[in-house]
Amino acid sequence: MTGLSLWALVAGVTLFAGTVQTIAGFGFALLAVPMLSLVLPPVEAVAVCALLGVTNAALVASNAFRDVPWKLVAMLLAGSVAGMPLGLCILLGISPDALRILVGTVTALMAASIALGLRWQPRRRVTLVAGFVSGVLSTSCGINGPPIVLHLQASGLTTARFRSALSSFFLLNGVFSLGAFTVSGVLDARALERAGAALPLLLAGNWLGHRLVGHLDAAAFRRFVLLLLGLTSTVVAVHALVGLRGG
């Protein structure tokens, strides 16, 4: 694949995932990480998506800080930071194809859990556990959203507070994740270059999402996103299994 075609693919994925995140409040990493891991080394895909994801979260959160339930977000963040070292060990300790299988499997499981609408009692220790799982996933395969989405859905928040809590958590969690990736060397010059080249498409996706959000059937759009996640995760897992067998 030439440099131009690779940039076009990364840019297209960024535009689509950024639009979905702005409309649905989640989905950037769930879509972007498995798609990009098909054409980039998976560790690089995780780093690029972390950079773009925290930028997108900042754009979304900038319009929502007034409604944030900060106590709940702080507890989720504390659990997440505690889980990040374990996730980083996983990221750095397994082969690229094994990491692709992990990304595909986690994407499928998380999409299924959101589709099924799993519920639990939002107690204090459950909040910390949800944050911990999110932290492990954040630094191992770059997919940190579903445990937080499910927990916030169970917390009985209004739509405005749900979106505010979600975007604020994504922003703060992303900052800590980038710190871990920087210290460990996962975040390098190549990842910065790829993320910088795709940044204009992220901004375009955010703009497009805001224009579309009031004109789409929310339930139909959600089903479309979940179906796409299922298909993408299957392709990634099969691609990685073929790579393992070929190796």
Residue-range domain boundaries for the chain? 3-246
Q: Determine the average pLDDT of the residues in 42-55.
A: 90
Please report the pLDDT score of residue 160 as a whole number: 76
By percentage, how much of the chain surpasses pLDDT 70? Answer: 82
What are the residues whose beta carbons fall under 8 Å from the beta carbon of 239, sequence distance 6 or more?
38, 100
Q: Which residue has the higher pLDDT, 61 or 167?
A: 167
Predicted local distance difference test score (pLDDT) of residue 233: 63
Q: What are the residues whose beta carbons fall under 8 Å from the beta carbon of 82, sequence distance 6 or more?
A: 128, 131, 132, 135
Contact criterion met (CB below 8 Å) for 138 and 124: no
pTM for the predicted model, two decimal places: 0.81
Cβ neighbours, 10 Å, residue 12: 13
Return the pLDDT at 73: 92
**Greater model confidence, 115 or 199:** 199
- Between 158 and 49, name the one with better pLDDT: 49
pLDDT at residue 151 in the model: 82
Share of the chain above pLDDT 90, in %: 26
Structure tokens at 88: 């980083």
Q: Considering the chain, what is the average pLDDT of its residues?
A: 82
pLDDT surpassing 80 at residue 142: yes
> Which has more pLDDT, 69 or 62?
69
* Short-list 81, 60, 62, 67, CA closest to 178: 81
pLDDT at 126 over 80: yes
